[in-house]
Amino acid sequence: MERDAFLSRLSTRLAPGRPPATALTIPTLPMLDPEGGSLIDVFVSRAAEVGATVHRAATRAAAQRDLAGLLEEEGHCRIACPPALRFPAAERMWTPDPRDASFGLSEADWGIAETGGVVFRHHGAMGRQYSLVPPTVGILLAASRLVPNLAAALRLIEEDPPPACVTFMTGVSHSSDIAGSPCTGVHGPGSVDVWLLDDE
Amino acid sequence: MTSAPDGFETIVAATIADKELQRWLSDYQVVAKDWHDAALAELGDPSAWRQAVAQIRRHTVAHLDSYLDRFTANVEAAGGNVFFAATALEACEHIAEIVSSKGARRVVKAKSMVTSEIGLNEALEGLGVEVAETDLGEFIIQLSGEQPYHITGPALHKRLPEIRALFSEAAGEQLPADVDSLAAFARRALREKFLTADVGISGANIGIASTGTVVLVTNEGNGRMSTTLPRTHIVVMGMERLVPDWASLGPVLTMLTRAGTGERATTYVSAITGPRRDGDADGPDELHVVIVDNGRSRLLGTKYQDALTCIRCGCCADFCPVYRTMGGHAYESVYTGPIGAVVTPLLQGLDGHEHLPFASTLCGACEAECPARVPLTDLLLELRADVVERHGSRTTQAVAFRGFAALGERPRLWRMALAAAATAWPVLARLQHRLEILAPWTRSRELPTVARRSFGRIWAARRREHAEGGGARGA
Amino acid sequence: MITCVCDALYPSVGIAAEHVLRSLGVEVDFPARQVCCGQAAYNSGYRPEARRAAKAYLRAFRGSELVVSVSGSCTAMVRRYPALFAGSPDEAEAIALAGRTFEFSEFLRDVLRVDQLPVRYPARATLHHSCHTVRHLGVKEQPERLLRMIDGLDYVPLPRSEECCGFGGTFAVAMPAISSSLVDDKANRVLETQADVLVGLDMSCLMNIGGRLRRLGAPTAVKHLAELLAEGWRS
């Protein structure tokens, strides 16, 4: 059906007796709002509740060292990440194709303490697949980019026109669809590690 | 009121007779309630959150024309294509056209109730296109050829041995009986589909009008996979599933997961605005958004408008005692539970669905928990009144209720009727098990005793005694 | 408000309620014109018929200062009267009646502010919270508080008390298979508590659960809260 015909059908039915269109004001709702240090504590513990492990790193370099150690320990041979996140210790393992990798590395734009999850604005080289396709993923997150709750994250996202995709990722892929029993890593990664960068 | 169709009676009887399934569904509800209650309690004032969601959704539906206008204009501004489908047929034809034009042989689907509603899978399969359901629950019922059992848990009714058998058959080998092995098979089997599909089709949990953004939630990751890897992404969206802006997304998303699955957040929420941009590392080249009416617009401006504010969280079914007893297939629709009993007759018409609004004790448990405050009890009552009106005043039941109303207006006649019943009672009591008309009650319960003297008679007698006794007022 | 169910089947509930109210210093009258609140017709989709019965109720209670009902669901129905008569000449009277009608336990706790009872009833009791009473009327803790005031009463909460007993008015006979399954579950939970007596605020629910308990041969007594109070009242 043509757009105008479709929409005018709705208008005809809705118009009689409806309240005048005013912008919607949402009441302030009570929500989690921890401060500073406790923001990190809440994030760390809630991330753990959804199966993600959070590591503290004083610097980006420290995180990279830590990550390199984990890659070796877990026997990964291929790591995929956006070019900007490549680092020397992982160079020999690097592949441009997330489908080819056992480990994917991304950097998150924000972390949400309330849920223990992170937010990605996917644009340019910051692709979607790095945090999705490999079975194990790592995420770098500046500690200063932790926000208390979803509402705070949405306010920040709304400051700019959205990219083609924004992903909120909270913990590991899981399902209870098989006879009500939980399983992880169906489709998305079953293992998620987050490095919280203290100096950023 | 109307006797339910045979299909319904058969399914109900079979579900009740399956003692294992009864225990399964009952236990499921206990667990679901615990998760739901805990997740909501964490909010401090869940009632305020429900009120906010109700406000957002009712406002949006009341101004759906302008929000849909805005939403679709923004989808196009972001490089997406929009199609308005008045009917299921229009939607399927258009989607089939896109799929054919891409020469697609394989489509991956993220869970979408509206695509089941319009019969999309059948339409595409009829053209020789393989449709791979990727949500684990949908995957299971695709293999078993069944309708979904629950809005968020399509395979809720399936137990481990059945799933093992289905997966093993699909795998061509006997798979181990543990959940992890079965999940691993699903991951392997569906990964291949994700990587080779030409087109990904998804629903939309919510659409954000202010930016033309489609929001998709999953726990598994199949939503992200279906909408990232294939070159073309088609979104099929019920036209009412909008919120005005990102701020209003917050309460709706929060309550969708907390009330629906008892989680703070689903693992993945994808907010998609148009196809990939120039320079993006990945994402589909084309985005098509198909807006589906299929009966929804008929509800606008009517006493049923609030039925469109549902956010499809599924928690109404989790609290419904009738749902757990008769099971999801008794609704004979993709929409199950209390909301199913409301929207199926509304979207598809009353023919064949008249019994659904009566499949409820009106206990109100669904409505008490509904995160969008959909007035389910009132909607069911309105539907019942509509059904009764259809059938006119000559049915046995109509005559009976008219008779009872007449008694309500004639207290003396009422007293006489009670006295007559009291006289007849001893005989009735002896015959109760042989009277067919009483069978619906007496099959499982003893009949109550008709009082020898009604309260009215006792009271009247007391007043007379007191008056005669000349004593204090009869209290 | 005796309700059609109690008038015909459970007059003892009315007698008991009157006894309790009178003992609490309330002057009780029984307007003889009352028959039925119209709930069954309304719930089954027969609005005109419901209105006829409801109109008769409006007339019956015209002269009553306050109305106390022995049924939570009937009280909830009366509270629907403003909507039922919206835009009609009876609307004002409907609003007035709805505003001065109370369920029995609600009246004792919220209006009379009863916080002690001269009642002794040594037995184990469990309470059925009727769905209409809890959800449509908002009365839940009032009966619990009253039970806890009874000397010698061992109150045991009913497991999964929030779940419907399966009565639902005509539902019980329109969808008997489902109704029977639900009432059986409810009755079994009552038996689990090993209570001597099942107490409630709605005789329709108690008729349903009691009917099942009797079919199961269970010795559990089934009483309206008013009956329990009246029987144990120390004069």
Q: Which residues pair with A117 in a beta bridge?
A: A112
- Residues of chain C in contact with residue B316, where contact means CB-CB under 8 angstroms, are none
Q: How far is C6 from chain B (nearest CA, A)?
A: 7
* Rounded Cα distance, B334 and B348, in Å: 12
Average pLDDT over residues B346-364: 97
Q: Is A171 part of the contact surface with chain B (CB cutoff 8 Å)? A: yes
pLDDT digits (tens, 9 = 90+) for B333-343: 999 999 999 99
Interchain pair C212, B364: CB under 8 A: no
The shortest CB-CB distance from A177 to any of B55, B85, B137 is to B137
The shortest CB-CB distance from B56 to any of A8, A26, A114 is to A26
pLDDT digits (tens, 9 = 90+) for A41-82: 999 999 999 999 999 999 999 999 999 999 999 998 899 999
With the CA atoms of B269, B275, B280 and B283 taken in that order, what torsion angle do they form, in degrees rounded to the nearest 10?
A: 60
Nearest CA in chain C to B330: C178
pLDDT grade for A114, boundaries at 50, 70 and 90: very high
Place of tokens 């659960």: C209
Residue B473 has pLDDT above 50, yes or no: no
Nearest CA in chain B to A16: B301
pLDDT digits (tens, 9 = 90+) for B178-191: 999 999 999 999 99
Which phi and psi (to 5°) does residue A136 adopt? -125, 135
Q: CA-based angle B201:B168:B14, to the nearest 5?
A: 80
pLDDT grade for B1, boundaries at 50, 70 and 90: very low
To the nearest whole percent, how much of chain A has pLDDT over 90? 87
Mutation for testing the B interface, residue in C19, C49, C73, C215 having most B CBs under 10 Å? C49
Contacts of B185 (CB under 8 A, 6+ apart): B167, B170, B171, B175
What's the length of chain A? 200
Contact B304, B382 (CB under 8 A): yes
pLDDT at B474: 38
Contacts of B436 (CB under 8 A, 6+ apart): none
Strands (E) in C36-183, as ranges, are 67-69, 101-103, 120-128, 151-155
Contacts of B295 (CB under 8 A, 6+ apart): B346, B347, B348, B349
Which phi and psi (to 5°) does residue C3 adopt? 70, 150
pLDDT grade for B5, boundaries at 50, 70 and 90: confident
pLDDT grade for B2, boundaries at 50, 70 and 90: low
Contact C74, C106 (CB under 8 A): no
Amino acid at B401: F
The shortest CB-CB distance from C32 to any of B406, B418, B456 is to B456
Nearest CA in chain B to A99: B195
B146 vs B475, which has greater pLDDT? B146
Q: How many helical (H) and strand (E) elements, i.e. helices and strands, does chain A have?
A: 4, 12
Q: How far is B438 from chain C (nearest CA, A)?
A: 8
Task: Return the partners of chain C (3 or more C-beta pairs < 8 Å).
Answer: B
Chain A residues 48-107 with CB within 8 Å of chain B: 50, 82, 99
3-class secondary-structure state, position B227? helix
pLDDT at B475: 35
Q: Is C185 part of the contact surface with chain B (CB cutoff 8 Å)? A: yes
pLDDT at B433: 86
Average pLDDT over residues B459-471: 83
- Give me the DSSP letters along B313-378: --HHHHH-HHHHHH-GGGG-SSS-HHHHHHHHHHHH-STTTTTGGGS-----HHHHH-TT---HHH
pLDDT grade for A35, boundaries at 50, 70 and 90: confident
Residue B15 has pLDDT above 50, yes or no: yes
Which phi and psi (to 5°) does residue C66 adopt? -140, 150
Retrieve residue C64's tokens.
């009553």
The shortest CB-CB distance from C173 to any of B13, B441, B473 is to B441
**CA–CA distances in Å: residue C181 to residues B324, B411, C165, C185:** 10, 36, 9, 6
3-class secondary-structure state, position B166? helix
* Rounded Cα distance, B71 and B65, in Å: 10
Contact A129, A188 (CB under 8 A): no
- Average model confidence (pLDDT) across chain B: 95
Which of A13-27, B87-101, B444-458 is predicted least confidently? A13-27
What 8-state DSSP symbol labels residue A83?
A: G
Retrieve residue B292's tokens.
């589906």
Residue B8 has pLDDT above 60, yes or no: yes
Nearest CA in chain A to B28: A180
Interchain pair B359, C175: CB under 8 A: yes
Q: CA-based angle B300:B305:B308, to the nearest 5?
A: 100
Which strand (E) or helix (H) includes residue C185? helix C176-193
What 8-state DSSP symbol labels residue B132?
A: E
Q: CA-based angle B175:B178:B182, to the nearest 5?
A: 55
Retrieve residue C123's tokens.
């037995």
Nearest to C74 by CA among B408, B61, B339, B176: B408
The shortest CB-CB distance from B183 to any of A31, A126, A183 is to A183
From first to last of its 235 residues, chain C has per-residue pLDDT tens of 999 999 999 999 999 999 999 999 999 999 999 999 999 999 999 999 999 999 999 999 999 999 999 999 999 999 999 999 999 999 999 999 999 999 999 999 999 999 999 999 999 999 999 999 999 999 999 999 999 999 999 999 999 999 999 999 999 999 999 999 999 999 999 999 999 999 999 999 999 999 999 999 999 999 999 999 999 999 7
Interchain pair B271, A29: CB under 8 A: no
pLDDT grade for B470, boundaries at 50, 70 and 90: low
pLDDT at B352: 95
Which of A97-111, B66-80, B431-445, C214-228 is predicted least confidently? B431-445
Task: Return the partners of chain B (3 or more C-beta pairs < 8 Å).
Answer: A, C
pLDDT digits (tens, 9 = 90+) for A124-133: 999 999 999 9
Burial A41-77 (b: 16+ CB within 10 A, else e): ebbbebbeebbbebbebeebebbbebbbebbeeeebe
pLDDT at A36: 67
pTM comes to 0.96
Interchain pair C35, B418: CB under 8 A: no
Interchain pair A167, B85: CB under 8 A: no
Chain C residues 20-59 with CB within 8 Å of chain B: 22, 27-28, 30, 32-36, 38, 40-50, 52-53, 55-57
Q: Which residues pair with B109 in a beta bridge?
A: B133, B201
Longest CA–CA span in chain C (Å) reads 52
Average pLDDT over residues A172-178: 97
Instruction: Supply the ipTM of this predicted assembly.
Output: 0.97
For C7-33, the three-class secondary structure string (H helix, E strand, C coil) is HHCCHHHHHHHHHHHHHCCCCCCCCCC
Interface present between A and C (3 or more CB pairs within 8 Å): no
